[in-house]
Amino acid sequence: MEQSKVLVFVVEDEILIQEMLEDALVDDGFAVERAATGEKAIEMLDAPEAAYRALVTDINLAPGKITGWEVAKRGREINPDLPVVYMTGNDSHDWASQGVPNSILVIKPFAPAQIVTAVAQLLNLGNTPGV
């Protein structure tokens, strides 16, 4: 039986960035689900069948709407160990006050490999046995 792939949830309002991230993550052996709005992301996180092992979210999803900060906080309410990678072009100064602990912030523009590396790093931190 094939080992199940780690499911990464990508929340990004720009479809080209969504697709680029999905391609990079799938190429590295992950499974991906996507949402384009904070509202849809919260709905998907709250679904009983949701089995996300990591969250990659843009911070600014749409003006006046649910932000990536809020999506990550909801994800952590559901799973306190959920690895979170934030993406932003201009909100890095808010990371210390708005970001969840033990998360990674990647500044746009970025190479897709940076996101894959950040996800893998956070997953490995959570799965590292005591030495």
Weakly modelled stretches of the chain, pLDDT under 70: 1-3, 63-64, 126-131
Confidence (pLDDT) at 3: 59
What distances in angstroms separate CA 112 from CA 58, 65, 96, one per listed residue? 14, 26, 24
Given this structure, which CATH class describes domain 7-126?
alpha beta
Confidence (pLDDT) at 82: 96
* DSSP string of 38-88, one letter each residue: HHHHHHHHHSTT---SEEEEES-SSTTS--HHHHHHHHHHH-TT--EEEEE
Confidence (pLDDT) at 26: 98
Confidence (pLDDT) at 103: 96
Confidence (pLDDT) at 90: 86
Confidence (pLDDT) at 128: 45
- Pick from 38, 48, 46: nearest CA to 71: 38
Confidence (pLDDT) at 20: 97
Confidence (pLDDT) at 4: 79
The structural domains of the chain, with segments of one domain joined by +, span: 7-126
Confidence (pLDDT) at 126: 67
Burial-class residue 110 by CB neighbours within 10 Å (0-12, 13-18, 19+): middle
